């Protein structure tokens, strides 16, 4: 079955997607989008997207893509590449700008859809859709600044130039915790540089991905430039990565776990194919005695429990100087005990909602076992919220969705496994530091290096921290979370391979430099060999007379 993508995203679809009473609302039939056509899986297999705050609410049914489906998408992307690469960059930028304006028009509906599909609060979903908008508007203008250089030659009558050229077909794989911002971080600069894409949507946010892909086509994107396939990471995602070995992919951009990222890096490495890997984190936040404690508590609390701790930049190790430990912990735990948790679609002003899906909930509970086995002291948290075990601030129905207590572990030391392992969910491990040098050591001691933060009003401490930390990002008197469309995002060590998302820096990940030597003299001139030698002659100066 195949049908042309409708250039108009049906208003009725968005009404269904943002229904205030989602239980019982119509289920959307979703499709792959391959070469501008709506496609089902070649074997007819499907899966469903569920609302994690209301598990009885099925948002939609989607193709469980086969290897043949992924290869069909890759073929479409490769076929579309020459024409798209030949499209003037300002024209590509204009289409990207159209995407940003359509996202603005549909923002409210998309926000409610995202919240319904993955359980984020409405405020967080709004911030993320805005990030996608900002990315489009930033790269619209970059279409007029895809600069190369004119370089002076060492020989006469010769011109040298450099140009940015697109890589080819890019495989895009992102996780569902940022289902709108991150794919736009990847695909917008990719297509701005002239590449084409096959986007494997996150298994737990296929409806939002489907809506976003249709908006991209409505903006004027030619068929085959962005192709969307749905399915599991172990299915469609793996097929896309395996296609690197088959010579069908020129670039992989992946956001997800470090273990999977290493596997992708190995496959790309043996094929000399570029990959961008944005991976996990155990992000440290240091609190020093000079800090404003109320501000530090606010930052640590949000970093640890915003998005139910399901950010790659969420707070991992909270490192508190021993002189202020008791005062800080008193204020911090007061906020934790009052945490308001619920369904943002129905319960106002909640800090966080359900886990992204039942799968993420199960993995989080398994991670908590690491803390227990390490010997850390659990001072707050009781695992999954149930009708018989719920914190005071829980305002939803525990039997309807997948909700977790906030968890706080103290007595954590550098030799414990939980100090080093990422816990993807609402849990913070707390470590005491003797002094600044010890705190900096602890901040660098995990195998990750994504985000970091320090709260201090001592400018020398702030300077020493930002120059001594091994991380891709650092907040000073700010939390570990937060990104802007014009600032580079990414990590070092186990958090990535040095590539960056966002800003002008990401262009390096989706283009290569092409050097052109234009000989105008009408004869062969050889660099280094035909250059006139410059002789050094001693100046005839009477230095004694000058003295």
Mean pLDDT, residues 388-414:
97
What would you report as the CA-atom Rg of the chain, rounded to the nearest whole angstrom? 26
Give the strand order in the sheet containing 149-152: 149-152, 158-166, 511-519
pLDDT of 320:
98
Mean pLDDT, residues 66-74:
98
pLDDT of residue 5 exceeding 60: no
214 shares its domain with 298: no
pLDDT tens, residue by residue, 18-31 = 444 445 567 899 99
The continuous run of DSSP H or E covering 305 comes out as helix 293-305
Two structure tokens written together for 503: 């800003």
CB count within 10 Å of CB 327 equals 13
pLDDT of 538:
76
pLDDT tens, residue by residue, 338-367 = 999 999 999 989 999 999 999 999 999 999
pLDDT tens, residue by residue, 294-315 = 999 999 999 999 999 999 999 9
* 536 pLDDT tier (thresholds 50, 70, 90): confident
What pairing do the DSSP bridges indicate for beta strands 448-449 and 492-493?
antiparallel
236 shares its domain with 305: no
With CA atoms as reference, report the closest residue to 69 among 96, 37, 22. Answer: 37
CATH of the domain at 400: 3.40.309.10
271 shares its domain with 332: no
175 shares its domain with 209: yes
* 1 pLDDT tier (thresholds 50, 70, 90): very low
Mean pLDDT, residues 264-289:
98
| pTM, to two decimals | 0.93
pLDDT more than 90, % of the chain: 90
346 shares its domain with 482: yes
pLDDT of 530:
87
Mean pLDDT in the chain?
A: 94
231: three-class secondary structure by DSSP: coil
Two structure tokens written together for 234: 């172990």
Mean pLDDT: which of 20-34, 237-251, 521-535 is highest? 237-251
214 shares its domain with 313: no
pLDDT of residue 151 exceeding 50: yes
Structural domain includes residue 268? yes
Alpha helices in 55-155 (DSSP H): 67-85, 89-105, 107-118, 122-142
312 shares its domain with 448: yes
pLDDT of 13:
53
Contact criterion met (CB below 8 Å) for 403 and 354: yes
Query: How many domains are there within the chain?
Result: 2
Q: Residue 309 carries which DSSP code?
A: G
pLDDT of 485:
86
Distance (Å, whole) CA 176 – CA 305: 17
Mean pLDDT, residues 494-513:
96
Name the CA dihedral angle for 227, 232, 235, 238, rounded to a multiple of 10 degrees: 70
pLDDT of 12:
41
DSSP assignment of 400-425 equals: TS--B--EEEES--TTSHHHHS---S
Mean pLDDT, residues 446-466:
98
Contact criterion met (CB below 8 Å) for 405 and 349: no
Distance (Å, whole) CA 319 – CA 442: 8
432: three-class secondary structure by DSSP: strand
224 shares its domain with 323: no
pLDDT tens, residue by residue, 408-422 = 999 999 999 999 999
With CA atoms as reference, report the closest residue to 66 among 84, 47, 85, 87. Answer: 47
Q: Residue 428 carries which DSSP code?
A: E
The dihedral region occupied by 308, where left means phi > 0, alpha psi between -120 and 50, and beta the remainder, is left
130 shares its domain with 113: yes
Mean pLDDT, residues 223-240:
97
The continuous run of DSSP H or E covering 240 comes out as helix 238-242
Structural domain includes residue 495? no
133 shares its domain with 257: yes
Distance (Å, whole) CA 356 – CA 421: 20
Q: Which residue has the tokens 């062969």?
A: 524
Mean pLDDT, residues 84-109:
98
Two structure tokens written together for 272: 């000399």
pLDDT of 139:
96
**Half-sphere exposure of residue 48, counting CA atoms within 13 Å on the CB side?**
10
* 10 pLDDT tier (thresholds 50, 70, 90): very low
pLDDT of 27:
87
Report, as residue numbers or ranges, the catalytic residues: 312
333 shares its domain with 270: no
Mean pLDDT, residues 219-244:
98
Q: What are phi and psi of 378, to 5 degrees?
A: -80, 115
CB count within 10 Å of CB 37 equals 18
pLDDT of 533:
83
213 shares its domain with 359: no
What pairing do the DSSP bridges indicate for beta strands 283-287 and 453-455?
parallel
Structural domain includes residue 105? yes
Domain that holds residue 243: 67-279+502-509
Two structure tokens written together for 536: 């050094």
* 263 pLDDT tier (thresholds 50, 70, 90): very high
pLDDT of 535:
83
pLDDT of 15:
46
Structural domain includes residue 358? yes
CATH of the domain at 226: 3.40.605.10
Q: Counting Cβ atoms within 10 Å, is residue 139 exposed (0-12), middle (13-18) or buried (19+)?
A: buried
pLDDT of residue 402 exceeding 50: yes
Contact criterion met (CB below 8 Å) for 25 and 181: no
pLDDT of residue 518 exceeding 90: yes
Two structure tokens written together for 435: 């002094």
Mean pLDDT, residues 444-454:
98
Structural domain includes residue 443? yes
Structural domain includes residue 37? no
Structural domain includes residue 518? no
pLDDT of 546:
74
Structural domain includes residue 22? no
């Amino acid at each position: 079955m195949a049908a042309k993508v409708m250039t108009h995203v049906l208003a009725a679809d968005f009404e269904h997607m943002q229904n205030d009473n989602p239980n019982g609302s119509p289920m959307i039939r979703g499709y792959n989008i391959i070469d501008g056509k709506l496609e089902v899986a070649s074997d007819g297999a499907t899966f469903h997207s569920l609302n994690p705050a209301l598990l009885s609410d099925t948002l939609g049914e989607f193709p469980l893509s086969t290897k043949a489906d992924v290869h069909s998408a890759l073929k479409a992307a490769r076929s579309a590449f020459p024409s798209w690469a030949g499209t003037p960059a300002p024209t590509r930028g204009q289409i990207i700008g159209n995407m940003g304006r359509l996202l603005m028009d549909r923002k409210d509906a998309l926000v409610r859809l995202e919240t319904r599909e993955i359980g984020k609060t409405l405020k967080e979903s709004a911030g993320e859709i805005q990030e996608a908008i900002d990315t489009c508007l930033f790269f619209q203008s970059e279409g007029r600044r895809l600069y190369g250089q004119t370089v002076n030659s060492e020989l006469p009558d010769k011109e040298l130039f450099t140009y940015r050229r697109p890589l080819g077909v890019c495989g895009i794989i992102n996780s569902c915790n940022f289902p709108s911002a991150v794919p736009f971080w990847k695909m917008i600069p990719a297509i701005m540089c002239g590449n084409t894409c096959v986007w494997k949507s996150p298994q737990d946010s296929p409806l939002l991905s489907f809506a976003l892909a249709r908006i991209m086509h409505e903006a004027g994107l030619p068929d085959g430039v962005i192709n969307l396939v749905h399915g599991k990471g172990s299915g469609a995602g793996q097929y896309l990565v395996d296609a690197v070995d088959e010579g069908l992919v020129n670039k992989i951009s992946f956001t997800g776990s470090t273990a999977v990222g290493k596997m992708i890096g190995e496959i790309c490495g043996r094929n000399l194919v570029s990959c961008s890997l944005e991976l996990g984190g155990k992000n440290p936040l240091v609190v020093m005695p000079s800090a404003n404690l109320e501000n530090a508590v606010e930052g640590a609390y949000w970093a640890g429990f915003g998005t139910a701790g399901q950010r790659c930049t969420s707070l991992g190790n909270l490192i508190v100087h021993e002189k202020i430990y008791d005062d800080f912990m008193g204020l911090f735990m007061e906020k934790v005990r009052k945490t308001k948790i619920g369904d943002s679609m129905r319960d106002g002003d909640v800090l966080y909602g359900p886990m992204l899906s039942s799968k993420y909930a199960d993995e989080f509970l398994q991670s908590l076992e690491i803390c227990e086995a390490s010997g850390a002291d659990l001072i707050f948290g009781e695992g999954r919220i149930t009708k018989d075990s719920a914190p005071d601030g829980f305002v939803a129905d525990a039997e309807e969705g997948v909700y977790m207590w906030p968890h706080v572990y103290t007595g954590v030391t550098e030799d414990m496994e939980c100090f080093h392992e990422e816990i993807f969910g609402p849990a913070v491990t707390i470590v005491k530091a003797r002094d600044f040098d010890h705190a900096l050591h602890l901040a660098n001691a995990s195998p990750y290096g994504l985000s970091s933060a320090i709260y201090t009003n001592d400018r020398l401490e702030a300077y020493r921290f930002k120059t001594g930390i091994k991380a891709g990002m650092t907040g000073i008197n700010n939390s570990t979370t937060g990104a802007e469309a014009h600032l580079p995002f990414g990590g070092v060590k186990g958090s990535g391979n040095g590539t960056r998302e966002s800003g002008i820096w990401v262009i390096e990940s989706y283009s290569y430099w092409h050097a052109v030597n234009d000989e105008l003299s009408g004869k062969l001139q050889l660099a280094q060999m035909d250059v006139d030698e410059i002789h050094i002659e001693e100046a005839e100066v009477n230095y004694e007379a000058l003295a």
